[in-house]
């Protein structure tokens, strides 16, 4: 399998104006890819369309060579932290176990095995001690790690993450980056919506520059150039001059 994800002629529109326009994209198997672009570039939309959460206006997406529905259990998803109500009455452990609901099937309840798997995933993100904590009592970075642990228990081949480094503390950022590297070394494909241009080169090996259209994609060393960034962000690119 050369490509984990293939996107062809993808167009997505809310009402009249397109959010994504004629996107072609190959995500090589085993890639650790950053998706960067300005606000409203369609980064989240792209991820959600790959996950079939949004119906495209045109185009096709193949995940592991098949439709998303048939390989859903091989795909792990880390939504934006702000997409849920953290005051929901539940514990960190409980949220992590939700990653196993797809595999458990209908009616069956999570049991001892599921709790142990969840605990192992929490341990992997350094959250084992806070497993029984109510989720509103966790810091932003800890909540983000709970979401990551929930994706980890899915034991997927592809991970799609929406801004996992947004507003997290330094400890969490280190934990997450280490985790991304571990996933890559296990042969997983990881796509991460990322906003900090300074760290793209050091954290990722592939990058997609997106602004409604695909500006460029490929190895960071080749496509993460000032010229491409200027095309992606328009004139507002001065701050990252020395990042490339």
Partner 1 sequence: MEQLLGDYTFRTVALGTAILGAISGALGAFAVLRRQSLLGDAVSHAALPGVGLAFIITGSKAPLILMVGAGLAGWLATVVVLVITTTTRIKYDGALGFVLSVFFGIGLVLLTFIQKYPDASQAGLDSFLFGQAAALVKQDVITIAVLGGLALVVLVLYWKEFKLLSFDPEFASSLVLPVRRLDLGLTTLLVVAIVIGLQTVGVVLMSAMIIAPAAAARQWTDNLGVMVLISMAIGAFSGVGGALLSTTTSNLPTGPTIVLCASGIVLISVIIAPRRGLVWEKIRRTLQSRRLRSEAILLDLFELARKHESFEHPHMEAALLVMHPDASTLRRQLRSLHSKGLISVHSTGGWALTQEGANTCKELMAKRMR
User: How many residues appear in the chain?
Assistant: 244
Residue that has been written with the tokens 């990551």 in this structure: 148
Residues within window 80-99 making contact with partner 1, judged by CB under 8 A:
83-85, 88-91, 95, 98
Check residue 13 for interaction with partner 1 (CB under 8 A).
no
Check residue 48 for interaction with partner 1 (CB under 8 A).
yes
**What are residue 94's phi and psi, to 5 degrees?**
-60, -45
| Cβ count near 86 (within 10 Å) | 16
Check residue 77 for interaction with partner 1 (CB under 8 A).
yes
Which of 46/220 has CB closer to partner 1?
46
Which of 136/221 has CB closer to partner 1?
136
d(C-alpha 171, C-alpha 187), whole Å:
25
Strand ranges, E, within 105-230: 158-162, 189-193, 206-211, 213-219
Tell the smallest beta-carbon distance from residue 153 to partner 1 (Å).
Answer: 12
Which of 22/155 has CB closer to partner 1?
155
Binding segment toward partner 1, per CB under 8 A, in 26-34, 100-108, 122-130, 183-191: 100-108
Strand ranges, E, within the chain: 3-13, 18-28, 32-36, 58-63, 75-78, 158-162, 189-193, 206-211, 213-219
Which residues would be at the binding site for partner 1 (CB under 8 A)?
A: 48, 51-53, 68-69, 72, 75, 77, 79, 83-85, 88-91, 95, 98, 101-102, 104, 106-107, 109-110, 134, 136, 150
């Amino acid at each position: 399998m050369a490509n984990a994800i293939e996107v062809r002629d993808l167009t997505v529109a809310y009402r009249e104006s397109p959010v994504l326009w004629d996107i072609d994209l190959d995500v090589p198997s085993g890639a650790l890819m950053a998706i960067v672009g300005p606000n409203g570039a369609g980064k989240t939309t792209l991820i959600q369309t790959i996950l079939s959460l949004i119906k495209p206006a045109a185009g096709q997406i193949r995940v592991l060579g098949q439709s998303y529905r048939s390989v859903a259990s091989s795909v792990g998803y880390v939504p934006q932290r702000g997409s849920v109500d953290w005051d929901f009455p539940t514990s960190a452990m409980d949220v992590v176990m939700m990653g196993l609901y797809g595999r458990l099937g209908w009616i069956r309840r999570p049991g001892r095995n599921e709790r142990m798997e969840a605990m192992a995933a929490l341990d992997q993100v350094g959250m084992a001690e806070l497993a029984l904590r109510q989720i509103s009592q966790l810091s932003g970075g800890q909540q983000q790690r709970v979401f990551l642990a929930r994706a980890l228990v899915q034991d997927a081949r592809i991970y799609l993450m929406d801004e996992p480094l947004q507003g997290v503390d330094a400890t969490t950022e280190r934990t997450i980056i280490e985790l991304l590297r571990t996933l890559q070394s296990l042969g997983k494909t990881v796509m991460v919506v990322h906003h900090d241009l300074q760290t793209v080169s050091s954290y990722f090996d592939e990058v997609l520059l997106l602004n409604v259209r695909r500006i460029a994609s490929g190895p960071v060393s080749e496509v993460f150039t000032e010229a491409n960034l200027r095309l992606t962000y328009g004139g507002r690119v001065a701050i990252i001059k020395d990042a490339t």
